[in-house]
A = this chain, B = another copy of it.
Amino acid sequence: MSEEREITIYDIAKYLNISAATVSRGLKNNPMISKTTRKKITDAAQMLGYQSNAFASNLRSRHTHTLGVIVPRLNSYFMSSALAGMENAASRYGYNLIIAQSLEDAEKEKRNVATMFNKRVDGLLISLSYNTQNINHLEPFFKRKIPVIFFDRVYPHNESTSVGINNFEAAYQVTKHLIDQGCKRIMHLGGNVLRNVYQERLDGYRKALQDHHLPFTEKLHLTGPLSEQAGEDAARHILELSPDKRPDAVFSANDTAAVYCMLALQAAGIRIPEDIAFAGFNNDPISKVIAPNLTTVEYPGDSIGHTAATYLINHLKGISDLYATNAITLRADLVIRASSLKNKHPE
């Protein structure tokens, strides 16, 4: 039952009859320490079961080897992939991740940011909540020059970098693909345009329509949370339209809404892609399971997370300068599957 006392560098120092300073240096492979004493130190540390106390170290050296991550939700495929990518990069370089979720709430996001600051994270990776209006809550970070990287849902700021894809271009390609398939009345299920990703996807969609001389119709533009429910609601909305007013294609800003819209429409006897073609966004696992398989955009969460974290760490190590880089854009390819193929023999 006796509480084991903590082994410190002082214990090692006493054991070897040397100073704590030497022990500290020896453990960090400081070249000032001779090979022989260094060996003695590491051996003694091993023997005594020494475990370094990160606090004491942080308190003095003023960095924590910890990165803060704030995401809207942890449990989406994209986010958990992004986190996995970050964790891989971070652990490779000896960094840890403190993860918090805003639950799409700007207020909780503010509290998360404050906590991260108090825990003195060395850098922050953040994807903004659904209704965050501005980034004033990040000021403490900017003031203290603690680097911030936005990923996925970014915010323009000239002292921090954004990591994501070209949403405009991807949405343009999706829409163009649907147009190439002969679709003329393409519906768009979008998210809150406060978030750049949804704004840019909407813009790409509109630009493609315009370039192909198709009108943009407000009635074919639905905005919502892109949830399962939202997908089903969209289906109901479509079914309530008179058949000649119905869209002949749906481009959803995520796969979840697309898939649940498809399921509801199919239940009502609508054929996909013959009656209505479908395209989503994210390349979520469900897109490969739904019948017909869903055309979508590969949104590489793992790469985005890995890139963002690596970049942040490189900045911290002085290898690259984050302030010079405004944005990093990763490749996001269109993944064409059966849900959008109206032409049996596409050229």
Q: Which A residues contact B (CB, under 8 angstroms)?
A: 3-4, 6, 49, 51-56, 58-59, 64, 66, 73-77, 79-81, 83-84, 87-88, 91, 96-101, 103, 108, 111-112, 114-115, 117-120, 140, 143-145, 259, 263, 285-286, 289-291, 301-302
The answer to whether B74 touches A80, judged by C-beta atoms less than 8 angstroms apart, is yes
The answer to whether B83 touches A96, judged by C-beta atoms less than 8 angstroms apart, is no
Give the Cβ gap from A89 to chain B, nearest Cβ, in Å.
12
A118-B75 contact given A97-B99, A100-B96, A289-B286, CB 8 Å threshold? no
The answer to whether A73 touches B83, judged by C-beta atoms less than 8 angstroms apart, is no
A286 to B294, CA, bound (A): 13
Contacts of A51 in B (CB 8 A): 114, 117-118, 140
A301 to B117, CA, bound (A): 29
The answer to whether A96 touches B115, judged by C-beta atoms less than 8 angstroms apart, is yes
The answer to whether A99 touches B100, judged by C-beta atoms less than 8 angstroms apart, is no
User: Which of B6, B74, B115, B120 has a CB less than 8 Å from the CB of A84?
Assistant: B74
Give the Cβ gap from A339 to chain B, nearest Cβ, in Å.
13
Q: How many copies does the complex hold?
A: 2
User: Which of B3, B81, B99, B140 has a CB less than 8 Å from the CB of A75?
Assistant: B81
26 A-B residue pairs with CB within 8 Å: A3-B144, A3-B145, A4-B144, A6-B144, A51-B118, A54-B118, A54-B120, A55-B58, A56-B59, A59-B59, A66-B119, A74-B83, A75-B81, A75-B83, A75-B84, A75-B301, A79-B80, A80-B83, A87-B101, A91-B108, A91-B111, A96-B115, A259-B289, A263-B289, A286-B289, A289-B290
Contacts of A96 in B (CB 8 A): 98, 100, 115, 119
Contacts of A88 in B (CB 8 A): 101, 103
A301 to B111, CA, bound (A): 25
